[in-house]
Structure 1
Amino acid sequence: MYLVTGGAGFIGSNLVAALAARGEEVMVVDRLGSGDKWRNLAKHGIAGLLPPEEIEDFWAAEPPVTAVLHMGAISATTETDGDLVAATNLTLPLWLWSACAARGVPFLYASSAATYGDGAQGFDDDASPAALARLRPLNLYGWSKLAFDRRVAQMLERGAPRPPQWAGLRFFNVYGPNEAHKGRMASVLFHKFRQVMAGEPATLFRSDRADIADGQQMRDFVHVDDCVAVMLWLLENPQVSGLFNVGSGRARSFLDLVQAMFAALGREPDIRFIDMPADLRGKYQYFTEAPLDRLRAAGFNAQTTPLEEGVRRTVQDVLMTEDPYR
């Protein structure tokens, strides 16, 4: 049985779908709330749905867990409740780490490209304490993810008990199926598609930097299928542990993304630039790109999905269908 926290969420539900397709038993740890988040799981058989507050009691019963895949988090970059974020993004994964170490269970967890802050220190997924100490996230979410990465590095350096396999995955700008529940935190592609379907132009933030034109802010956009492929490969290669970037390996502009969306829709681009919201000013990444050298050196050689193909698949095979869930 695989234990997937955040298994009804975006990346988590795509992972659950892939494991279920392989015939694996999957216990999902998540809350569904009162919206349509349940639809992310509706097409797949699962072993059960466990509220996060019951995970310790579940673990105490010593179920036959093959691996823990910790995708659950407070992922809103605008969240300001420090105690909530620390409890969810730091305290819980520390407990899971210790529990997996004690029982000899592999542990994979979601880190984030938000740990890199404005990118001034680069995007090297160096897991050493010295390298991690140099990073300066721009928001509470990024700090919480970095705090856990740093604690893992400290425990490894001190020879503390560790899971037999562990991997921290620094996901970059992920897009794909099962984002509808994320609200403001859904991908740019999802929001722009909704705008255009409502008869509006696709809006992008104006640049407030003189050296970067409007729409030329750049991100490493990675299809969720590529993220799942990395996790499945890690499960198949238990000798591999470490902190790894997970992206496409190539930065592309927001303008590229939106133009690819219009091409997938068979429409001429209709784009309007708007001012950046006040709560994002000074906390906005203008460039991200995931070097994949460490992941490649570890043996992962699958090719990542080109942006235009990933956007086409997401728009035509998911968002434009009657049942836009995986």
Structure 2
Amino acid sequence: MAVLVTGGAGYIGSHMVWALLDAGEDVVVLDRLSTGFRWAVAPEARFYMGDAGDETLLQQVFAENDIDAIIHFAGSVVVPESIVHPLEYYENNTSKTRMLLAAAVKAGIPHFVFSSTAAVYGTQESAVPVRESVTPRPESPYGVSKLMSEMMLRDTAQAHAFSYVALRYFNVAGADPKGRAGQSTVGATHLIKVACEAALGRRASIDVYGTDYNTPDGTGVRDYIHVSDLVEAHLRALAYLRQGGVSLTANCGYGQGYSVLQVLQAVMRVHGGRFGVRYAPRRAGDPASIVADPSLAREALGWVPSHDDLDGIVRNALDWEEHLARKNSYDIESMHQMLASARF
């Protein structure tokens, strides 16, 4: 049996592909490469270029591969962008998930692991840390688009021979400790990646959005989870479903929050240098604080994190940024050599 990974050329998806292969799984990747990279996909995986909402392509993928599970990462993930372009987020995150679900049900694929988000919670001032049982209050089209997809999963599981695990990610960061994958998206908005780029001189400075939140230092507080621990939660979810587990929704975080300023201090500490910091007003859709209660994932899935250390997360992220710098330098030099030897 094989596992289909949508968005498998992206940040989290590429790590997932490596983890599945390490576990001995047969892996199929579907990605349109809008933000991912073909080189980021492990060579042992079978790759299809295309959209997770393309019904004809999905029929081909399902016909050519014996797939029993889908891990669905494909989608758009930038909160401020979703506020400016809400219909694009409802199209890419909600409508295309519906199309993928319909194709999976038609093909008789019984297991589905869904990439959801803590953005479904919005501000939960009376629930710290936040549990899955609280009433969702998404404050952005991104959060709403993911919550709508969760609702479709729930209804699909009630109507068909189909089960799912929806994992609500908190703030994912870091890179594969083996150096095989990392956050490579151009113009990424993830705080730790942006801070690492600033530390290495690839950005002139970093912006801090909001210094007047009701938090210890006035900046937003988030629960940062290492990408390797996150993909381990997906492996556990896959095993859980294959063993007959009932559908569930679970948080993926550590239960420990760090402010924006604490993260910047960690990057400066690990890197050993300073970089420019600019202060800007709050952004729409950003809650003051959001920290996970990960008890359900630990209890139901048997998930035990092994990278719960902010400095370690930053160290892996910095290592990956240095790798990207070397790779880009090599790619440019190779292009120059090719052009120099070409005959026109």
TM-score under structure 2 length normalisation = 0.79
The answer for the alignment partner of 1:276 in structure 2 is 281
The answer for the alignment partner of 2:206 in structure 1 is 203
1:168 matches 2:166 = yes
**Structure 1 residue aligned with 2:74, among 72, 88, 92?**
72
1:47 matches 2:46 = yes
1:174-193 → structure 2 map (5 Å cutoff): 174-177=172-175, 178-181=182-185, 183-185=187-189, 187-193=190-196
Q: Aligned AA for 1:260?
A: A
The answer for the alignment partner of 1:87 in structure 2 is 91
Instruction: Tell me which stretches of 4 or more aligned residues in structure 1 moved more than 4 Å.
Output: 199-202
On the 8 A contact 2:213/2:219 being kept in 1, the answer is: no
The answer for the alignment partner of 1:220 in structure 2 is 223
> Alpha-carbon deviation of 1:162?
4.1
1:81 & 1:204 partners in 2: Cα distance?
Answer: 22
> Alpha-carbon deviation of 1:84?
2.9
On the 8 A contact 1:215/1:254 being kept in 2, the answer is: no
Are the structure 2 counterparts of residues 93 and 38 from structure 1 closer, same or farther at C-alpha, using a change threshold of 3 Å?
Answer: same
Cα distance per residue 1:163-221 (max 9 Å; x no partner): 1x310010111112332225243x11111111222276753425353644656421001
> Alpha-carbon deviation of 1:153?
3.3
Are the structure 2 counterparts of residues 275 and 214 from structure 1 closer, same or farther at C-alpha, using a change threshold of 3 Å?
Answer: farther
1:299 & 1:61 partners in 2: Cα distance?
Answer: 31
On the 8 A contact 1:214/1:273 being kept in 2, the answer is: no
Are the structure 2 counterparts of residues 6 and 189 from structure 1 closer, same or farther at C-alpha, using a change threshold of 3 Å?
Answer: same
Q: Secondary structure at the match of 1:69?
A: strand
> Alpha-carbon deviation of 1:120?
4.0
**Structure 2 residue aligned with 1:125, among 117, 126, 132?**
132
On the 8 A contact 2:9/2:36 being kept in 1, the answer is: no
The answer for the alignment partner of 1:107 in structure 2 is 112
On the 8 A contact 1:207/1:214 being kept in 2, the answer is: no
The answer for the alignment partner of 1:144 in structure 2 is 145
2:261 & 2:236 partners in 1: Cα distance?
Answer: 32
198-207 vs 11-20, greater mean Cα deviation: 198-207
Q: Aligned AA for 1:76?
A: V
Q: Secondary structure at the match of 1:290?
A: coil
Cα distance per residue 1:91-124 (max 9 Å; x no partner): 2222333443451431101111111112346432
Structure 2, unmatched stretches of 5+, are 176-181, 329-344
**Structure 2 residue aligned with 1:309, among 309, 312, 315?**
312
1:287-302 → structure 2 map (5 Å cutoff): 287-302=289-304
Q: Secondary structure at the match of 1:27?
A: strand
> Alpha-carbon deviation of 1:23?
4.2
The answer for the alignment partner of 1:251 in structure 2 is 257
1:28 & 1:152 partners in 2: Cα distance?
Answer: 21
Are the structure 2 counterparts of residues 271 and 215 from structure 1 closer, same or farther at C-alpha, using a change threshold of 3 Å?
Answer: farther
The answer for the alignment partner of 1:97 in structure 2 is 101
1:124 & 1:116 partners in 2: Cα distance?
Answer: 9
The answer for the alignment partner of 1:264 in structure 2 is 270
> Alpha-carbon deviation of 1:307?
1.3
CA RMSD of aligned residues (A): 2.7
On the 8 A contact 1:110/1:168 being kept in 2, the answer is: yes
1:233-252 → structure 2 map (5 Å cutoff): 233-238=236-241, 239-240=244-245, 241-252=247-258
Q: Aligned AA for 1:303?
A: P
Cα distance per residue 1:49-97 (max 9 Å; x no partner): 2301243332562630031100111222213434432232122222333
The answer for the alignment partner of 2:154 in structure 1 is 153
On the 8 A contact 2:193/2:317 being kept in 1, the answer is: no
Q: Aligned AA for 1:124?
A: R
Between the two proteins, the alignment pairs up a number of residues equal to 307
> Alpha-carbon deviation of 1:234?
1.8
Structure 1, unmatched stretches of 5+, are none
1:262 & 1:82 partners in 2: Cα distance?
Answer: 35
Cα distance per residue 1:13-37 (max 9 Å; x no partner): 110122233443322111125x872
